[in-house]
Amino acid sequence: MNIETSKNKQMIIWVLYDIKNDGARNFVSKACLKAGLYRVQYSCFLGTMNANEKDTLELQIEKVINEDTDKVYIFRMNKEQLKECSMLGQAFDDKLVTDEIKSLFF
């Protein structure tokens, strides 16, 4: 597989954050939505993106967060790993998740 092909390969991405500053938190939320991720909880997004898109999002987030107080986690996983996840209770906040996200899983 050449480098170009691997950079275009779609991967499942989770973005979770705890950001104190309202402006930075709103920026990160909007950046995740603009990147095509779906909000599954207030500070948790899920979707697919390629390596270049993931790197771009990371750079955008890195510019606005306070590295001393804020926490941002970006997890990559494949479909098999997602199938192995346990989701208990409601699992996703139905006020934030549309039918569009449900089609991602089924």
Strand 11-18 vs strand 38-41: parallel, antiparallel, or unpaired? unpaired
User: What does the alpha-carbon distance between residue 58 and residue 56 come to, in Å, rounded to a whole number?
Assistant: 5
CATH number at 3-96 = 3.30.70.240
Q: pTM of this prediction?
A: 0.77
Are 70 and 27 in contact by the 8 Å Cβ rule? The answer is no
Domain residue ranges of the chain, discontinuous segments joined by +: 3-96
pLDDT tens figures, 5-50: 556 789 999 999 999 999 999 999 999 999 999 998 899 999 999 9
Tokens of 19: 């950001």
